[in-house]
């Protein structure tokens, strides 16, 4: 694989949870705005442009959860930067909208954002435990994610990411993607339902959906070897 592989993390947990799979694939994890040394960016579209500016042309771009939403936006807005696209637990809209029912109700997101603002140290572990429910390895996955996700990001970073999730609607952008695309989705994902992944796959021309049974929101932690095998097969496909 000559093209560089860049992975974009999800909300709240930073680069840690993706490090193992990135190493196995020979890739690099990029910090999202506000994490690590990356400056915080308030606007979602500006964050897309900022991340895209760091990518060499033809990059294989993978994103998990919020990172998948950003990766989708980059592939649509800067097609020369993305040679292949991998969306893990991805969706076109995190919240429910007209015609997009398989998502979180906006009121639930607003309640969660208020809880995070009041007590992030309590809410984040609950959030991770919640999206691990239904996974065959739920307890192990939950423990690993919490260990690898430390330290928690700043409160302003958490709030900004939740605001992105409330505003971003990429249903119109998804058909603009020209890169070969693989979606990997767990059948038991309670945060990003499989139906959302199926709907997103239908919007992206030629996209392939790879379903991992008995996995919830972090299939790369639940079954890392299986996950790496699926990604490698996609990367080496003609």
| 3-state SS record for the chain | CCCCEEEECCCCCCCHHHHHHHHHHCCEECCCCCCCCCCCCCCHHHHHHHHHHHCCCCEEEEEECHHHHHHHHHHHHCHHHEEEEEEECCCCCCECECCECCCECHHHHHHHHHHHHHHHHHHHHHHHHHHHCCCCCHHHHHHHHHHHCCCCCCHHHHHHHHHHHHHCCCCCCHHHCCCCEEEEEECCCCCCCHHHHHHHHHHCCCCEEEEECCCCCCHHHHCHHHHHHHHHHHHCCC
Q: Does the annotation count 236 as an active-site position?
A: no
Q: Does the annotation count 189 as an active-site position?
A: yes
Q: Does the annotation count 65 as an active-site position?
A: yes
Among 65, 93, 210, 222, which one carries the catalytic annotation?
65
Among 185, 189, 210, 222, which one carries the catalytic annotation?
189
Among 93, 185, 210, 217, which one carries the catalytic annotation?
217
For the annotated catalytic residues, the residue numbers are 65, 189, 217
């Amino acid at each position: 694989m000559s093209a560089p592989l860049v992975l974009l993390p999800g909300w709240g947990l930073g680069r840690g949870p993706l490090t193992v799979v990135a190493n196995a694939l020979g890739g690099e994890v990029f910090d999202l705005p506000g994490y690590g040394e990356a400056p915080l960016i308030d606007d979602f579209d500006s964050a897309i442009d900022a991340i895209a500016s760091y990518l060499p042309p033809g990059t294989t771009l993978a994103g998990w959860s919020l990172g998948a939403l950003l990766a989708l936006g980059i592939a649509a807005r800067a097609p020369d930067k993305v040679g292949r696209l991998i969306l893990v637990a991805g969706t076109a809209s995190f919240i429910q909208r007209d015609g997009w029912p398989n998502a979180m109700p906006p009121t639930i997101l607003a309640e969660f954002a208020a809880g995070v603002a009041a007590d992030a140290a309590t809410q984040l572990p609950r959030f991770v435990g919640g999206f691990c429910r239904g996974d065959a390895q739920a307890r192990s996955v939950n423990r690993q994610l919490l260990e690898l996700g430390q330290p928690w990001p700043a409160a302003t970073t958490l709030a900004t990411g939740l605001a992105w999730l409330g505003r971003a609607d990429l249903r119109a952008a998804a058909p603009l993607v020209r890169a070969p695309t693989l979606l990997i989705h767990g059948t038991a994902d309670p945060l990003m339902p499989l139906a959302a992944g199926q709907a997103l796959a239908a919007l992206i021309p030629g996209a392939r959906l790879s379903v991992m049974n008995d996995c919830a929101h972090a299939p790369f932690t639940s079954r890392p070897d299986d996950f790496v095998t699926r990604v490698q097969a996609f990367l080496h496909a003609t």
